[in-house]
Amino acid sequence: MGGYQSTESAGHKSSPEELSYMLAERFATKCFTPLELTHFKDNFYSRAIDQGGVKYWNEKILSDFLGVPDSSDSQCPLDAGPVIFRMVSYLGAFPFQNSLAPSVLTFDAMVKVVVLLTERYGKVLRRARRDRIRLLFGSLADVGRKDVEKSSTSSDMFGEDVPNATTSSSHAPGFAVDAPANDGYEDEEDDDLALAALESLDAIEVFKHDSRVDRAVYEARVSDNTFRRLLMLLIVISRLRSIESAAVYTSNLSGTRMDSIRKEADSIIAAFDQEPSKGIRYRSFAETVSSSLPYLFDPLTPLFEHFLFSKNLDLSQKRDRAGSTESILDKAILDELQPPPSVMLDGSFESVILNTSLLSHLSFFLPSTSEDLNFLRGNTRLHPVFSTAAHGSSLTSFSHNVLTWSSGTLLILDGVSETNGPVILGAYLPQPWKSPSSTASSSQFSNSVLPCLFQLSPQHMLLQGNSSPSAQKPDTPAAYFSTSSGISIGCRIPPSSRSNRKPPAPFGAGSLTIDANLETANFYVSPVGCDGSFLPPAPSTNTETTYKTSIDIYNLEVWGLVPDPTTTTAEVGKSAVELQQAKWDFEAREAERRRNLNLKAGAGDSAAESARWLLETAGIIGDSSRQGGSHVI
């Protein structure tokens, strides 16, 4: 990219095409290191088609490079290539999508695409909110005029054809999706990214002229078909790293794996309020993504950072370290040498609930120790702590295993309800469990990471933790355990009394109670109530009244959250796994000591057998005590 001077000084204002080029040049020089830009150029120009002196990419080149399957790939049923190409063609015209989109995928266009999808624009557009939701909606939405929609018989998934590479971008018809009619929501919002981009080029008037669109005749929605295809790709590549091609994850998908991918995608789509025509409007899209699926589009970052790694160049070449900005190439060199660690660690049981697709679903909203990363990208791992399938439905066993775990936990259960059929829901609890009489123990997770209550199927729903001081009360803990009442999450704990022992009561916007036999659960959700442990779900979930879902539990599992060892400070000391094992070993020794005392104190065989029976019933000895004795609450 050569230098470009604005034509303002020549007596006329710059055109959208000229300003678009200027912004691409600024993005290239400010948002990439010199080495990254070298890799980018090699990747692009070594594959580009040259037609009349214009070098560009088509859909086939883009899909093959990213490893995204399309309809021509008979080995993979995902077919997400057209969706990605549609998104890229729209974003390449930024900030003039109304007049320049769909864009020909020249080098300048691809620079803007990579900067926008990896959120590197903050280095140039410092006043812009780091929010891609509006742009992503526009890149996915189908467009049609009201006066022709009724008579239209087109089955094209995008509503209008994407031009071929020979079409001039300056004559593209435009998508006009930024402001659907009769929505009453997006009209009140500014396009912060576009405004910041044009402000940086001193070209606000050009932007205003470009965005002058007849809003009354257009409608925009993201169709189920389009969104499902993107969601399925995001589920598959949730663990993608920048140096990898998506083909590593999209190849060899079995029928069972595809079924689980579709199931999670359908559960997520069900969270969005849809029009009768099955389209998702901007308001529902923005509200649901921002409040319930904050990390949904995270996999797009490594997918498009793949442009910054060329196999034709030596990744280990020394770069100029004079600048303070760290290059992701350094991390890529290390990543190339070792595969990503397994999410689920070895332990006393294997999950009968969690699978790869469900873990991807969890990564779309669960944080890691850092709020800026989801739990997969933050390298949080799961250690087996308790499972009804492996340990039985004993509260003694639950307390012995769970209350000895010194870090956060993920509780998840599956079962069936009378109204909705199969249900999967759970709670993310970043602080350790504790008995009613104990004080909070130290945690390897930041106090700023809040708990949450969630449902994964049949419809995704998230109730975020409440950070308000009014919700932080001793009688409203996020999680509570009692041998008499069972497990209570997000409930109000009544004061203890010898004469009247009331069970914990649902409180606030959401609660989960599990009976003492670990056989039934009740899930309470309310659209109001900001004084409890959890906030109400997104408005687009159509939760208009408080309701209760009764669930017969099939399986219940608790997984310990193990932070990324590379980010754990020395002050933390031993890991949660080591601390738990030490407690189990101690309780095992205590159980053995009590067993010997009771057996020796017995008079005759009958007394010894009675003592042994009592100890086995309590879970102190026998098969259930392999990991140690019980934990007294």
Give the pLDDT band (50/70/90) at residue 418: confident
- Kindly tell me if the per-residue pLDDT of 65 is higher than 50: yes
pLDDT recorded at residue 327: 55
Among 157-166, 257-266, 372-381, 410-419, where is mean pLDDT lowest?
157-166
What whole-number percentage of the chain has pLDDT above 90? 40
Measured distance CA(39)–CA(114) in Å, rounded? 13
Three-state SS across 153-170? Answer: CCCCCCCCCCCCCCCCHH
Is-contact 51 229, C-beta < 8 A?
no
Angle between helices 133-140 and 282-292 (to 10 degrees): 130
Is-contact 389 350, C-beta < 8 A?
no
Measured distance CA(286)–CA(575) in Å, rounded? 39
486-489: long-range contacts, CB 8 A cutoff, minimum separation 24: 486/395, 486/513, 486/514, 486/515, 486/516, 486/517, 486/518, 487/398, 487/411, 487/512, 487/513, 487/514, 487/518, 488/512, 488/513, 488/514, 489/411, 489/427, 489/429, 489/453, 489/513, 489/533
Measured distance CA(164)–CA(168) in Å, rounded? 9
Measured distance CA(116)–CA(304) in Å, rounded? 10
pLDDT recorded at residue 12: 52
* Selected residue with higher pLDDT from 319 and 543: 543
Is-contact 183 111, C-beta < 8 A?
no
Spatial CA neighbour of 18 closest among 192, 210, 167, 304 = 210
Please compute Rg for the chain using Cα positions: 28
Measured distance CA(382)–CA(377) in Å, rounded? 13
Measured distance CA(39)–CA(43) in Å, rounded? 6
Among 57-61, 114-118, 167-171, 395-399, where is mean pLDDT lowest?
167-171
pLDDT recorded at residue 440: 36
pLDDT digits (tens, 9 = 90+) for 77-103: 788 999 999 999 999 998 888 778 899
Name the token pair of 58. 């088509």
Mean pLDDT, to the nearest integer, of 441-466? 80
pLDDT digits (tens, 9 = 90+) for 559-572: 999 887 665 443 34
Residue ranges covered by each domain of the chain: 16-144+190-308, 356-438+445-572
Burial class (CB in 10 A: 0-12, 13-18, 19+), 259: exposed
Name the token pair of 179. 């402001």
Q: Positive or negative CA dihedral for 54, 56, 58, 64? A: positive
pLDDT recorded at residue 258: 94
Q: Positive or negative CA dihedral for 353, 356, 360, 363? A: positive
Spatial CA neighbour of 27 closest among 93, 114, 87, 104 = 114
Spatial CA neighbour of 67 closest among 233, 230, 226, 232 = 233
Residues 6+ apart with CB under 8 A from 96: 16, 19, 20, 207, 210
Distances (CA, A) of 551 to 293, 412, 454, 484: 25, 13, 14, 20
Among 237-241, 327-331, 449-453, 537-541, where is mean pLDDT lowest?
327-331
pLDDT recorded at residue 588: 64
Measured distance CA(285)–CA(540) in Å, rounded? 8
Measured distance CA(492)–CA(496) in Å, rounded? 12
Q: What letter would DSSP give residue 567?
A: T
pTM of the model: 0.81
Give the pLDDT band (50/70/90) at residue 597: low
Task: Give the three-state DSSP class for 547.
Answer: strand
Highest mean pLDDT among 280-284, 419-423, 427-431: 427-431
Name the token pair of 270. 């069900």
pLDDT recorded at residue 503: 86
Name the token pair of 180. 């659907």
Backbone angles phi, psi at 551, to 5 degrees: -130, 130
Residues 6+ apart with CB under 8 A from 184: 283
* Selected residue with higher pLDDT from 580 and 351: 351
Measured distance CA(561)–CA(584) in Å, rounded? 18
What whole-number percentage of the chain has pLDDT above 70? 65
From the DSSP assignment, how many helices (H) and strands (E) are in the chain?
Answer: 21, 17
Half-sphere exposure of 441 (CA within 13 A, CB side): 18
Measured distance CA(613)–CA(322) in Å, rounded? 72
Q: What angle do CA 445, 447, 451 make, to 5 degrees?
A: 85
* Selected residue with higher pLDDT from 622 and 113: 113
Q: Positive or negative CA dihedral for 368, 374, 376, 382? A: positive
- Kindly tell me if the per-residue pLDDT of 495 is higher than 80: yes
- Kindly tell me if the per-residue pLDDT of 386 is higher than 60: yes
- Kindly tell me if the per-residue pLDDT of 627 is higher than 80: no
pLDDT digits (tens, 9 = 90+) for 347-356: 889 999 999 9
pLDDT recorded at residue 628: 35
- Kindly tell me if the per-residue pLDDT of 617 is higher than 60: no
Spatial CA neighbour of 283 closest among 463, 95, 539, 96 = 539
